Amino acid sequence: MRKTAVFIITAILAICMTACGQPEEGVQGDPVVAEVNGQPIYKSEWEEIYNNYKQMLLIYSGIDASTESGAETLEEYKTIALDALIRAKVVRQQADSRGLLNFSAEERAEAEKNVRETMETEIQHYADELKKSLPEKTEEECYNQAKQAYERDMADKGESLESKTQLLLESQAEDELYEIIAQSAIPSEEDVRAEYNSLAEEQKKLYDEDINQFFDDYDGGEVLILYVPHEYVKMQHILIAYPSKELEEIQNLHMEIYELETELKEEEDAEKRSELEEKKAELDELMREGAALIQEETDKMYSNALKEDRDGFIQMVVNYTDDAGQNTKSACERGYLVGEGDLIDESIRQAVLSIEDGKITGPVQTVNGYHIVRRDSVLPEGQISFESVQKELTDRLTSQRQEDAWENSVKQWMEEAGIERFDDTYKLDT
């Protein structure tokens, strides 16, 4: 729910920039819901934002508007939408106060050119889709129909080439304002080194106490790892899974065996022991049958894998693996870790540990299917050197500090702005 809410709020902010770029004049009977330094925000602006993102909230969060909790959430988003509009207005005023909204004829011409190109791309995309659904129509007919529909949609939204151009210019000005603020927050090398020392010390304490946290952070890919609690071997693999029906049967039986083995560890029981042996035999047979179904594909994949270098193998993993944990290049680059605290299948572990870095194992069978495994490299125990992570840590710290500087600036501008909300006006019916 939290990630969904963040997504929706971010989207609101983006749309608010569009709204703030519209003309200031309100139509007759359009009440003012708030003022920012004397500049109005009209109810129609806010209603459009709120209603658009009300739909997003319903779709992405799955809330039920008919329930009490759902109604409360929607009520909260009324205020969130208005707050986002106010924020956007404040930022735009700051850009204006610095002269960033004073556009030259050349800048306006360039922006208009870019808008025309974007509009043309969008129209052509729609025309291509129409052609797919209406093959009897000519490309010219589809294009004309798409263009007419696009222009009607713009008219319905009160948009024009001029308003889109102005919006693009103002958006670029706000980007420039962000860069001005961000330039003051670039960390020095001393700052980066201090951050490195602090994080490394923090990770050492954390990972030495909780090996699972190390694996969570490593596999997640979002934390920059600066300390490794044990030596590990990195690996990538291509999983050729059994067909779904066979896979389900095998995994269910495997779980039954695991539960029986757990029970027998606690208390020996002859009847359960016999049942265990029967189920193991059944599992062996199911795995033989499953292997036969994927043998040809596995042999072909293995033959091709032997021809590839590291980059080629990683691309094969991304393209072909049935393991969702390694179907992106970044995940493959990280690799899985074999060593203390891992959850790697024992057959795979033994295969990886028996070969040299850069080598590929023959197909390894598990309850998931066949695995073609490449041993990548050794990840040594201890603290990662500063030099090896300096660039990435610098980039991360820079981004973090620039974002903090921007948010602190916006917060200050908001505090200094003359903001007035007219609560009785913006209380829209849910």
In a domain, 397, yes or no: no
- Mean of all residue pLDDT scores within the chain: 90
In a domain, 310, yes or no: yes
Strands 419-421 and 382-383: what pairing?
Answer: unpaired
- Three-state secondary structure readout of 183-196: HHHCCCHHHHHHHH
pLDDT of 343 > 80? The answer is yes
In a domain, 62, yes or no: yes
What's the token pair of residue 45?
A: 């602006």
Query: pLDDT, tens digit, for every residue of 265-275?
Result: 888 888 889 99
Same domain for 14 and 119, yes or no, is yes
In a domain, 388, yes or no: no
Q: How confident is the model at residue 429 (pLDDT cuts 50, 70, 90)?
A: low
Same domain for 157 and 21, yes or no, is yes
What's the token pair of residue 281?
A: 């035999």
Where does residue 4 rank: exposed (0-12), middle (13-18), buried (19+ CB within 10 A)? middle
Same domain for 271 and 366, yes or no, is yes
What global pTM score does this model have?
0.73
Q: Point out the least confidently predicted range of 101-105, 129-133, 425-429.
A: 425-429
In a domain, 263, yes or no: yes
Strands 364-366 and 227-228: what pairing?
Answer: unpaired
State the residue range of the domain holding 309. 230-380
* pLDDT on residue 4: 44
In a domain, 215, yes or no: no
Average pLDDT value for residue range 159-163? 94
Percent of the chain with pLDDT over 90: 78
* pLDDT on residue 361: 95
- Segments of 250-400 assigned E as strands: 336-338, 364-366, 369-379, 382-383
Q: Which has the higher per-residue pLDDT, 248 or 424? A: 248
262's enclosing H/E stretch is helix 244-266
Q: How confident is the model at residue 302 (pLDDT cuts 50, 70, 90)?
A: very high
Same domain for 166 and 287, yes or no, is no
Q: How confident is the model at residue 14 (pLDDT cuts 50, 70, 90)?
A: low
Query: pLDDT, tens digit, for every residue of 359-408?
Result: 999 999 999 999 999 999 999 999 999 999 999 999 999 999 999 999 99
Count CB-CB contacts under 10 A for residue 271. Answer: 7
Count CB-CB contacts under 10 A for residue 264. Answer: 14
345: domain CATH number?
A: 3.10.50.40
pLDDT of 8 > 50? The answer is no
d(CA 198, CA 194): 6
pLDDT of 140 > 90? The answer is yes
Terminal-residue alpha carbon distance, the chain? 21
What is the domain count for the chain?
Answer: 2
What's the token pair of residue 285?
A: 């047979």
Same domain for 321 and 368, yes or no, is yes
pLDDT of 71 > 50? The answer is yes
* pLDDT on residue 426: 61
Phi, psi of 34 (to 5 degrees): -165, 160
Q: What is the DSSP letter of 324?
A: G
Query: pLDDT, tens digit, for every residue of 28-61?
Result: 678 999 999 999 999 988 988 888 878 887 888 7
Nearest CA to 83 among 49, 113, 110? 49
In a domain, 204, yes or no: no
Q: How confident is the model at residue 5 (pLDDT cuts 50, 70, 90)?
A: very low
Same domain for 95 and 17, yes or no, is yes
d(CA 105, CA 113): 12
pLDDT of 342 > 50? The answer is yes
pLDDT of 236 > 80? The answer is yes
